[in-house]
């Protein structure tokens, strides 16, 4: 597993961390392929996912692959919280939401995102 994908515990709950921080456009698609493989190893509706996009650089191909992975990962995700999307063009973020038909929840801080993730 890549150093950009990890698991940690917050308030007794397992959180999958996807680290896109300062990720270059050329590295986005390989990371997304690994995300998809990692997510698919889990039970349906079991994953709490925290994604940090701070400083990430997405090109058109990366954004397209992100939309695809969001759709394919949907059955496995219980909740997903994102931070750092300010560095991603708004049109991409809007397309992620509309294409995936997923509730994508965005926060300003890691603390806010993690609290929301573990609150039922």
Tens of pLDDT, residues 76-98: 999 999 999 998 999 999 999 89
When computed from its CA atoms, the radius of gyration of the chain, rounded to whole angstroms, is: 13
Position 14 scores a pLDDT of 98
Tokens 């698609």 -> residue: 29
Position 102 scores a pLDDT of 86
For each of the domains in the chain, give its residue range(s) and CATH number, in order of start.
5-118 (3.30.750.24)
Position 103 scores a pLDDT of 83
Position 1 scores a pLDDT of 59
Q: Is there a contact between 72 and 99 (Cβ–Cβ < 8 Å)? A: no
Token pair for residue 32?
Answer: 């997304």
| Low pLDDT (below 70) residues in the chain | 1
Q: What's phi and psi for 73, nearest 5 deg?
A: -80, -15
Nearest residue to 19 via CA among 87, 83, 100, 75: 83
> Is the four-CA dihedral 76, 32, 88, 52 of positive or negative sign?
positive
Q: Give the global pTM.
A: 0.94
Position 52 scores a pLDDT of 98
CA atoms of 13 and 42, how far apart (whole Å)? 15
């Amino acid at each position: 597993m890549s150093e950009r994908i990890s698991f940690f515990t917050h308030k007794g709950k397992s959180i999958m961390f996807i680290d896109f921080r300062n990720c270059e456009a050329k590295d986005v698609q390989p990371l997304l392929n690994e995300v998809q493989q990692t997510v698919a190893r889990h039970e349906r509706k079991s994953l709490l996912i925290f994604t940090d996009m701070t400083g990430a650089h997405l090109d058109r191909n990366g954004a397209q692959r992100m939309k695809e992975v969001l759709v394919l990962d949907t059955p496995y995700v219980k909740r997903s919280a994102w931070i750092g999307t300010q560095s991603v063009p708004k049109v991409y973020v809007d397309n992620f939401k509309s294409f995936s038909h997923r509730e994508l929840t965005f926060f300003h801080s890691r603390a806010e995102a993690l609290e929301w993730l573990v609150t039922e």
